[in-house]
Structure 1
Amino acid sequence: MTAHAAPEPVVVDELITETADRLFSELCTHEAVQAAEDSGSAPGIWDAFCETGFDLIAVPEGAGGSGGTLAEAIEVLRLVGYHSAPIPAAENGVLGGWLLAEAGLERPDGLVTVVPPRAGTDGWSGGGACSANLNGDGTATLTGESHRVPWARSAEIIVCICTCDGQANVVAMPASECEITQLPNMAGEPRDTVRFDGVTGRAVPAPDGVNAEALAQRGALSRVALMAGAIEKMCQLTVSYTNERVQFGRPVARFQAVQQHLVWAAQDAALVRMTAEVAAREATRGDAPFEIAAAKLVANQAAARATKACHQAHGAMGMTQEYPLHHFSRRLWSWRKEYGSDAHWSAVLGNMATGVGADGLYPLITSGTAALR
């Protein structure tokens, strides 16, 4: 039997985690998050985030980024969720920055956002409901409409993957030439409708490994990281509140029914953080379709359970604007609907399981993506 060397460990620099946590702790106050929901942006938080280089942490230095790993970027996104930071951290670097760097397209000074791909019965398709035509001069003209584009109103460049003549292309369009209808998600974060009425942008054939499905997996991983942080913080708020709230002469955390809610929420927080770390580790090493699919499904389901448990433990207090619980629960219910629903990722995992057959099921569960190679 041939012995295989263990893969190199993926290490996240603790200084990155400590710096990001300190930054968000200082800036993401309750008032700042509320104000961002009203205005649709948080320029003070975003500027400070960019000054540290966190916005491009997973983009190679040669493409203008910080040269960090995907695992480090995912850890920063977990802290974005933990502090409910109202910034486009995932879109600008992990998604948009990745697409531009892979395609060799020049990166602008301003914000980059991405048109999320659409899930269908035959996989993922890019570009929303747009059609694209190549012009033969390194540009493409887009016509159509894309929905729920994060932070489109604040972007300088909108990037998407479009198929032209059977070839996937990375297309970068100036946001100023698009018609943007401002719409929020459940948490008040921008999820705008973008209309491309003959908009022309730079177009480059997508290199190997860059397509709508790869973008969807990367987007799903970003949402898992955000949800992991939000669930963790939501649970901590619930533990603190139920220990401080006194009824019938004792903290409500001592009541068995409340303790059950706390246990359920804590279990989900630990589960989602573990799946996020595993998926990020494997995605840093290479393709990780099984780990990402499993992580997104786990996170989607855990977000629903943990939100229910934490809100029930809080009672009416959790529904007030003055108390921060809703900053996390509303984000969770928005993020869980993005980059693949429960039904989609369940079908993906089911197809993987049936594809390897009965003898391959146990290796798939224990080895993940490695069993698919």
Structure 2
Amino acid sequence: MFTEAIEKILTDLCTPAQVRAVENGDCASALWRELEDGGFLELLTPEVADGAGLSLAAVFPIFLAFGRHALPLPVAQSIAARALMRDCPHAPPTGMLSLAGTAYREADGRLCAPRMAYGALADFALVNLGGELLLLDCSQAQRVRSGVHGSQCATLYWPQDAEGISLGSNGSEVRLFSAAIHAAAIAGAMEKALDMTLEYCNDRVQFGKAIGKFQAVQHQLSVMAEQVAASRIAAELAFASNATVPDALATAIAKARTSMAVPQVTATAHALFGAIGVTEELDLQLFTRRLQEWRVSEGSETHWNGLVGQALLAQPQVGASEFVRNVIPSQPA
């Protein structure tokens, strides 16, 4: 029910033209207000707190849809932030919340949140500072954009005397949730890129037939589809737990596998589109640019593969197949 409702809103309001407008500095207040007023920011909030009380598994298709529509707003991060603040006495602030999975103090005392997703737009940030969970007002921070065309990612610097609210010691959950969200967004955006590529290959005629009929093109499409399918399965794994926060090992596998697929999927899509594949007018770049950015957000495949490898080596008596099968323990019926 929620997925269908959000899909309709995104189809109507999150058009490629709207995404480009936001990237060029226009506000997206109508889209944000539609999602906020519809109560969609409270999907993971318990019912006793007037939320929808959805499970992680139920919210996964929604996060997938955000990636598939290149949603240029921190909606998934705001949903997760409210879940992370579940045990806090402070109510979530009004406005756009984003997540900073890793923050640190610089030598001069400033607090730095590097490459924060939607840092250029966020009103508030839920920050992991060495395990401490902090809520910070982004209006007090200096924002330094990434410099990538159209990106809403930014590094934020808060002064030493910035007034943040300490919410607890579950700061490490911020990075887990943020990484899982990025894995879902990658899977969704790659599905869209595959759909666009398939449609183009079926429509583009060369030498008297659609290029999708050529065996060499079919081979590339097959490999691309395999990468997309594997990424979706891995991303879904991160949300398969009954817990309130994605499982650490499942998230590591999800982020590693989806990030690993990005170079091949994006390169294949652009290659099959040919000369128009590099143009700004083609909607494909709205997704492939984000895929490259999300690939390294909260750590690339190198970081997360290292964590998976350490977990496997910590169980020398367990084979790789058994290790993967038991990433998420069986839940009681």
TM-score normalised by structure 1 residue count: 0.81
CA distance in 2, matches of 1:211, 1:304: 31
Aligned equivalents of 1:152 and 1:188: distance in 2?
Answer: 13
Tell me which of 158, 169, 184 is aligned to 2:125. Answer: 158
More displaced, 264-273 or 225-234? 264-273
Give me the whole-angstrom Cα distance separating, in 1, the residues matched to 2:164 and 2:112: 15
1:246 aligns with 2:202: no
Q: Which amino acid aligns with 1:128?
A: Y
Partner of 1:138: none
Distance 1:186 1:271, change over 3 A: farther
> Residues of 2 paired with 1:150 and 1:63: CA distance?
27
* 3-state SS of paired residue (2:35): helix
Match of 2:133 among 159, 165, 170: 170
- Alpha-carbon distance between aligned partners in 1 of 2:142 and 2:208, rounded to the nearest angstrom: 59
| Counterparts of 2:285 and 2:125, CA distance in 1 | 30
8 Å contact 1:264–1:309 — kept in the other structure? no
Larger Rg: 1
Give, in angstroms, the shift of residue 329 of structure 1.
0.6
Q: CA deviation at 1:286?
A: 6.7
Deviation, 1:287, is 5.7
Q: For residue 73 of structure 1, what is the aligned residue in structure 2?
A: 59
Instruction: Work out the CA distance in 2 between the residues paired with 1:21 and 1:188.
Output: 23
Aligned equivalents of 2:235 and 2:242: distance in 1?
A: 10
- Cα deviation for residue 40 of structure 1 reads 6.3
In the alignment, which residue of structure 2 is the partner of 1:203?
A: 166
2:142 to 179, 183, 191: 179
Contact 2:146 2:155 (C-alpha < 8 Å) held by counterparts: no
Tell me, in whole angstroms, the C-alpha distance in 2 between the residues paired with 1:227 and 1:336.
8
* Unmatched tracts of structure 1, length 5 or more: 1-14, 118-126, 133-141
- 1:67-106 matches, within 5 Å, as 67-94=53-80, 96-106=81-91
Matching of residue 260 in structure 1 with residue 223 in structure 2: no
Q: CA deviation at 1:369?
A: 4.1
- Please tell me whether residue 21 in structure 1 is matched to residue 7 in structure 2: yes
Distance 1:228 1:342 in 2: 14
Structure 2 residue aligned with 1:135 = none
Instruction: Calculate percent identity across the aligned residue pairs.
Output: 26
Aligned: 1:310 with 2:293: no
Counterpart of 1:218?
A: 177
**Amino acid corresponding to residue 151 of structure 2 in structure 1:** E
Contact 2:187 2:231 (8 Å CA) reproduced? yes
Alpha-carbon offset, residue 144 of structure 1: 2.9
After TM superposition, list the pairs within 5 Å mapping 1:1-373 onto structure 2.
15-39=1-25, 41-63=27-49, 65-94=51-80, 96-117=81-102, 127-129=103-105, 143-163=110-130, 168-181=131-144, 183-184=145-146, 186=148, 188-197=150-159, 198-206=161-169, 210-212=170-172, 214-282=173-241, 284=243, 288-359=247-318, 361-370=320-329
By how many angstroms is 1:113 displaced? 1.9
What root-mean-square deviation, in Å, do the aligned CA atoms of Structure 1 and Structure 2 show? 2.4
> What secondary structure, in the 3-state scheme, does the structure 2 residue paired with 1:321 have?
coil
CA positional deviation for 1:62? 4.6
Q: Distance in 2 between matches of 1:97 and 1:358?
A: 40
Contact map agreement 2:22 2:28 (CA 8 A) in 1? yes
Q: Which runs of 5+ in 2 are unaligned?
A: none
Aligned residues between the structures: 329
SS of the equivalent of 1:102 reads coil
Partners of 2:208 and 2:120 in 1: how far apart? 52
Cα distance 1:291–1:236, how it changes in 2: closer, same or farther (>3 A)?
same
Relative to structure 1, the CA distance from residue 33 to residue 261 in structure 2 (aligned partners, 3 Å threshold; closer, same or farther) is same
What TM-score do the two structures reach when normalised by structure 2? 0.90
Distance 1:255 1:67, change over 3 A: same
Deviates more, 1:189-198 or 1:358-367: 358-367
**1:101–1:40 Cα change, 3 Å:** farther
Secondary structure of the residue that 2:282 maps to in structure 1? coil
**Higher fraction of strand:** 1
The runs of at least 4 consecutive aligned structure 1 residues that moved more than 6 Å come to none
